[in-house]
């Protein structure tokens, strides 16, 4: 349990240190060391507890519940104070804060709040989450050391508030560890609200008008989800025959008779939908990209949105076979389809990544809503693969932006020549997101095989089939831009800082390693977790040994193919590209009709006349609200 408390408290303690230390060499070293310690701590936790199944711990400390309640009230007060900056149309934010604080105060002060014997727990899934938070999260904070320095160098007009930046980042990590270890729902709720608060502050970091408004939108939408969470707790405390806020107990009750706790579970899943930015809440995550890149990487890969799906995946066994679970799955599947199509129309790299995050989380929500052993297995693996690849891609885009001065995909042409290192990590990240035999595709494949067996209709599988097609389109055209070589291409100047390289190469290696070692990950922790919950032999039955061998062969082939360059015939004749005119300077321009010099430039297809972002978003919001309303109305069936 010592290591558990270390992970919970150490980042928070360090955050206090970073709150006072000015950005200097000593602070940077301290950030690096803390990141290393957190990563090492999470690995140690995994080594110490893996394979031991579920364990819970009693925390001995006087008046701990009152301290947490006090924390909640302080947090609400702080948020209310922050509401000074709101605009007229954001009136709902203080209302939500007050209602939530009121509900929690009512539960606590009416004396009805049940005691929880063991407030903390650990199982295979929380170990996996801890590894994601500990390793990916600390790599991102390591990356932030040099990134934030350059960020303020590039934006001199912006006030350097790095102290509050690193304070919040490390506090965020603590809260995330809290989310995955808390067995007491009241504690979990506080950690949940801290992640909302942290992302609110991080999104508003640039202090521009746009950043401030987006931060408030993120706050408002997440508070709406938080309201669902608070109502869930209220139900558990006031309307349950045997009041309990013990997460493990609720899951046990739900597995015996899902009807009993279905209402609070669906309410908390609603909070999960908001936090994981599913439709109709997706706009907050898209707005969040105004923040510095490490913030986006953090929100998208290891924290925040992962808290949302964490809680939904947690409830998956109870959702299995219920109509509420089915409609939750449909919310996810519809989000997957619509945001995948919208991603085609985007040329801003961070927006493409954001839409792809929402889509992939939709897939995870769909898996969790279905809640069969196979889909749960796929959901956990998707979470792992997505965290690694998406962290890599965001950090890659951040470094590219600092080097080429743009985050537009159209400006990344010829990256393979200009910045071969960055191009390689981006290629690895993109391949990891959609192509066989990398991680995301393995899980997508498992989802598809599992969705067909869902009892009602093949609808989910069909939505997945349609959604996969645009996914391939937008990733490949981005790859195409990176690998295209223009005549005037030459190597770019200025090196990428060491901290950034460390994070990038580590995550790139992890993307390949998770794909190569996924049978091992599955065997060591995901399968035992699923088997333990459902009492089934092997959750990964769909992926037979033969298929795993084939996947390994494919991966080996993919990694060996670059060797083909060694055997490359040198006798090829080089010409400049065909432009249907007389070429000038290595084919960048040509003499066209009437003897005029024409410059040839190329742009990718974005099909914005074919797929409209606005219309699709509106359709998605309407559809998902209908599905959510249906989800609530079928709760008792």
Partner 1 sequence: MKSAIAILAWVILAPIAGGLLAGVDRIITARMQSRVGPPLLQPFYDVLKLFGKQGIVVNAFQNFYMICFLVFVVVTGCLFFSGGDLLLTIFALAVAGVFFALGAFSPNSPYSNIGAERELLQMMAYEPVLIIMAIGMYMVTKSWHVDEIAGFHNLLVGYLPGVFVALLFVLTIKLRKSPFDLSTSHHGHQELVKGATTEFAGPALGVIELAHWYENVLLMGFVYLFFASNWIAAISAVIVTYFLEIFIDNTFARLTWRFTVKSSWIVAGVFGVVNLFVVAFLIK
Build a one-symbol-per-residue string for 373-412: x at contacts with partner 1 by CB under 8 A, - elsewhere.
Answer: ----------------------------------------
Q: Where on the phi/psi map is residue 581: left (φ > 0), alpha (ψ -120 to 50), or beta?
A: beta
Stretch that binds partner 1, among 158-166, 325-333, 529-537, 554-562 (CB under 8 A): 554-562
Helix (H, G, I), strand (E, B) or coil at 71: helix
List the beta bridge partners of residue 57.
120
Report DSSP state, residue 63: T
Q: Nearest approach, Cβ of 370 to partner 1 (angstroms)? A: 15
Q: Is 618 in the site for partner 1 (CB under 8 A)?
A: no
Shortest Å distance, C-beta 416 to partner 1: 7
Q: Which is nearer to partner 1, 575 or 596 (CB)?
A: 575
Q: What mask, x for binding partner 1 by CB under 8 A, covers residues 456 to 495?
A: -xx--xx-xxx-xxx-xx--xx-xxx-xxxxx--------
- Residue 552 engages partner 1 in binding (rule: CB under 8 A): no
Give min distance, CB of 466 to partner 1, in A: 5
- Pick the binder of partner 1 from 118, 248, 531, 604 (CB under 8 A): 604
Closest to partner 1 by CB, 67 or 472? 472
Which of 462, 434, 265 lies closest to 366 in space, CA to CA?
462
Smallest gap from Cβ 634 to partner 1, in A, equals 20
Residues 6 or more apart from 112 whose CB is under 8 A from it? 237, 238, 243
Q: Which of 119, 262, 251, 307 is nearest to 532 (CA)?
A: 251
User: Residue 582 pairs with which residues in a beta bridge?
Assistant: 591
Instruction: Tell me whether residue 263 or residue 446 sits nearer to partner 1 (CB atom).
Output: 446
Alpha helix stretches (DSSP H) within 435-497:
439-451, 459-483
Residue 106 or 445: which CB sits closer to partner 1? 445
Q: Could you say which DSSP state residue 397 is in?
A: H
DSSP 122: E
Nearer to partner 1, 485 or 629 (CB): 485
Stretch that binds partner 1, among 253-261, 285-293, 363-371, 542-550 (CB under 8 A): 542-550
555 binds partner 1 (CB under 8 A): no
Out of 154, 610, 622, 625, the only residue in the binding site for partner 1 (CB under 8 A) is 610
Measured from the CB of residue 606, what is the shortest distance to partner 1 in angstroms?
A: 10
Does the protein bind partner 1 through residue 545 (CB under 8 A)?
A: no
- The conformation of residue 241, written as its DSSP 8-state character, comes to S
**Shortest CB 172 distance to partner 1, Å:** 36
Based on the shown chain and the rule CB under 8 A, indicate whether residue 519 belongs to the binding site for partner 1. no
Per residue in 106-134, is it b (16+ CB within 10 Å) or e — as a string? ebbeeeebbebeebbbbbbbbbbbbbbbb
Shortest distance, position 360 Cβ to partner 1, whole Å: 17
Burial of 43 (0-12, 13-18, 19+ CB in 10 A): middle
Q: Rule CB under 8 A: which of 562-601 touch partner 1?
A: 562, 564-565, 568-569, 571-580, 587, 600
**DSSP annotation of 521:** H
Q: Is 162 in the site for partner 1 (CB under 8 A)?
A: no
CB closer to partner 1 out of 247 and 463: 463
Using CB under 8 A as the binding rule, whether residue 615 contacts partner 1 is answered as no
- Is 619 a binding residue for partner 1 by CB under 8 A? The answer is no
Nearer to partner 1, 435 or 536 (CB): 435
Contact 27, 98 (CB under 8 A): no
Measured between alpha carbons, how far is 164 from 26 in angstroms, rounded to an integer? 17
212 binds partner 1 (CB under 8 A): no
Q: Which of 513, 554, 555, 634 binds partner 1 (CB under 8 A)?
A: 554
Q: Which of 40, 557, 625, 629 binds partner 1 (CB under 8 A)?
A: 557
Question: 636 vs 230, 231, 515, CA distance in Å?
Answer: 20, 17, 41
Total residues interacting with partner 1, rule: CB under 8 A: 61
Do residues 94 and 148 touch, judged by C-beta distance below 8 A?
no
- Give me the torsion for CA of 185, 191, 196, 202, rounded to 10°: -170
Minimum CB–partner distance for residue 408 and partner 1 (Å): 17
Supply the minimum distance, in Å, between the C-beta of residue 470 and partner 1.
6
Smallest CA-to-CA distance from 576 within 584, 566, 568, 567 is with 584
Q: Are 140 and 304 in contact (CB under 8 A)?
A: no
The DSSP bridge pattern shows strands 55-57 and 597-599 to be unpaired
The single-letter DSSP state of residue 84 is G
Among 9, 16, 33, 550, binds partner 1 (CB under 8 A): 550
Q: Which two structure tokens, joined as six digits, stand for 542?
A: 């769909």
| Cβ distance to partner 1 smaller for residue 486 or 591 | 486
Residue 578 is given by DSSP the state P
Element (H, E) at 171: helix 162-181
The answer to whether 340 touches 429, Cβ cutoff 8 Å, is no
Which of 19, 260, 448, 634 is in the footprint of partner 1 by CB under 8 A? 448
Residue (62 or 562) nearer to partner 1, CB: 562
Least Å from the CB of residue 486 to partner 1: 5
Stretch 415-444: interaction string toward partner 1, x if CB under 8 A? -x------------------xx----x---
CB of 567 to partner 1, least distance (A): 10
Question: What is the Cα–Cα distance from 325 to 88, expressed in whole angstroms?
Answer: 37
Q: Within 10 Å of residue 479's Cβ, how many Cβ atoms?
A: 18
- Contacts for 257 with CB less than 8 Å, ≥ 6 apart: none
- For binding to partner 1 (CB under 8 A), which residues are involved? 413-414, 416, 435-436, 441, 445, 448-449, 452, 457-458, 461-462, 464-466, 468-470, 472-473, 476-477, 479-481, 483-487, 542, 546-547, 550-551, 554, 557, 561-562, 564-565, 568-569, 571-580, 587, 600, 602, 604-605, 610
């Amino acid at each position: 349990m010592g290591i558990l408390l270390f992970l919970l408290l150490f980042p928070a303690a360090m955050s206090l240190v970073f709150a006072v230390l000015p950005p200097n060499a000593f602070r940077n070293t301290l950030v690096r060391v803390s990141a290393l310690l957190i990563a090492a701590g999470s690995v140690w936790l995994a080594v110490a507890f893996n394979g031991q199944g579920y364990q819970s711990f009693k925390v001995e400390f006087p008046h701990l519940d009152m301290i947490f309640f006090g924390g909640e009230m302080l947090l609400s007060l702080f948020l209310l104070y922050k509401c000074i900056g709101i605009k007229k149309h954001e009136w709902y934010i203080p209302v939500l804060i007050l209602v939530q604080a009121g509900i929690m105060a009512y539960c606590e002060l009416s004396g009805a709040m049940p005691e929880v014997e063991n407030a903390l727990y650990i199982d295979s899934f929380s170990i996996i989450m801890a590894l994601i938070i500990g390793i990916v999260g600390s790599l991102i904070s390591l990356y932030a050391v040099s990134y934030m320095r350059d960020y303020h160098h590039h934006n001199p007009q912006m006030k350097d508030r790095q102290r509050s930046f690193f304070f919040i980042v490390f506090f965020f990590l603590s809260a995330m560890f809290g989310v995955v270890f808390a067995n007491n729902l009241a504690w979990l709720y506080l950690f949940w609200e801290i992640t909302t608060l942290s992302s609110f502050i991080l999104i508003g970091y640039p202090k521009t008008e746009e950043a401030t408004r987006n931060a408030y939108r993120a706050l408002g939408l997440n508070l709406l989800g938080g309201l669902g969470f608070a109502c869930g707790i209220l139900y558990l405390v006031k309307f349950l025959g045997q009041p309990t806020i013990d997460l493990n107990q609720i899951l046990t009750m739900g597995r015996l008779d899902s009807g009993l706790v279905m209402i609070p579970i669906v309410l908390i899943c609603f909070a999960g939908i908001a936090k994981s930015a599913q439709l109709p809440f997706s706009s907050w995550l898209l707005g969040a990209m105004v923040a510095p890149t490490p913030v986006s990487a953090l929100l998208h890969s290891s924290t925040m949105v992962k808290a949302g799906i964490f809680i939904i995946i947690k409830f998956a066994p109870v959702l299995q076979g219920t109509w509420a679970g089915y409609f939750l799955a449909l919310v996810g599947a519809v989000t997957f389809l619509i945001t995948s199509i919208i991603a085609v129309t985007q040329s801003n790299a961070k927006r493409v990544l954001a839409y792809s995050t929402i889509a992939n989380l939709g897939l995870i929500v769909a898996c969790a809503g279905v809640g069969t052993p196979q889909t749960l297995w796929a959901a956990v693996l998707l979470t792992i693969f997505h965290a690694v690849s998406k962290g890599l891609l965001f950090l890659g885009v951040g470094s590219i932006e600092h080097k080429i001065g743009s985050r537009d995909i159209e400006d990344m042409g010829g990256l393979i020549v200009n910045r071969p290192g960055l191009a390689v990590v981006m290629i690895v990240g993109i391949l990891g997101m959609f192509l066989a035999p990398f991680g995301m595709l393995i899980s997508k494949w498992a989802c598809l095989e599992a969705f067909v067996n869902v009892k009602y209709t093949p609808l989910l599988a069909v939505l997945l089939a349609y959604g996969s097609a645009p996914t391939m389109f937008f990733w490949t055209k981005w790859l195409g831009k990176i690998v295209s070589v223009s005549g005037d291409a030459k190597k770019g100047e200025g090196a990428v800082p060491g901290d950034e390289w460390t994070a990038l190469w580590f995550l790139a290696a992890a993307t390949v390693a998770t794909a190569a070692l996924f049978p091992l990950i599955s065997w060591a922790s995901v399968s035992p977790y699923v088997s333990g919950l459902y009492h089934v032999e092997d959750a990964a039955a769909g992926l037979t040994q033969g298929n795993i061998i084939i996947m390994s062969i494919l991966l080996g082939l993919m990694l060996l193919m670059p060797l083909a360059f060694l055997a490359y015939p040198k006798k090829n004749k080089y010409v400049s590209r065909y432009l249907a005119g007389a070429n000038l300077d290595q084919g960048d321009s040509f003499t066209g009709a009437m003897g005029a010099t024409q410059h040839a430039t190329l742009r990718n297809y974005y099909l914005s006349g074919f797929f409209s972002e606005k219309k699709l978003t509106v359709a998605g919001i309407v559809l998902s609200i209908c599905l959510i309303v249906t989800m609530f109305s079928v709760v008792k069936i």
